Structure 1
Amino acid sequence: MNAITYETRRESYRKVLRSLGNRQSQVFTNLMIHQHGATASELAKDMHSFGHFLTSDRNNVHPRLNELVELGLVRILGKRECKVTHKTVAVYHAVPVAVDVALEELFNE
């Protein structure tokens, strides 16, 4: 990838990250911690334990995950058994370039 394309892509991610709503930002930030991805239920459980939600219901995060997938910040890696529900479900992963840009934004503020 040439330098112009690379920088254009990073600027696009930067704009999208800056436009996220509070819950979208929380879900994306918490998903960044999971290097190998997480299921909606696993993420909801973690966020509940951090005090973001009153319950660990997956419906707290699933709509935001769908939005983040549509924005191109999160992708579905595949399926595996969820550590919470023990069902085979989708695994979500933060897009590496978006994570890099998010960390740059965090440390440049």
Structure 2
Amino acid sequence: MLFTKVKSISTKELQEQLNNQPTIVDVREDFEYQGGHIPSAVNLPLSTLDQQTGNQKLHEPWYLICRSGARSMRAAKYLTKAGYDVINVKGGMNAWNGPVQN
């Protein structure tokens, strides 16, 4: 499978899902996550994702977010190939207008 099809949504669409308590996975590095993240987001940095996914007991689907959407797209392709149900958040935290926790 040369190309992996990944589902994507906008930050506005994710914000509309917040009442449903979606599983949000922030794939930025820890220092970026600590600088401000979506309050319910779990931090699984892309750089260590392959070592951490087997330990996670998170409900699927996972909504993946990063700073701009590029790393979360890479993570989404990797996780989709591994059999996870994931959705990439286009625009990332740069486009996020919802609540942020430090």
Higher helix share: 1
Q: TM-score, normalised by structure 2?
A: 0.35
Higher strand share: 2
Report which structure shows greater RCO (CA 8 Å, sep ≥6).
2
Q: TM-score, normalised by structure 1?
A: 0.34
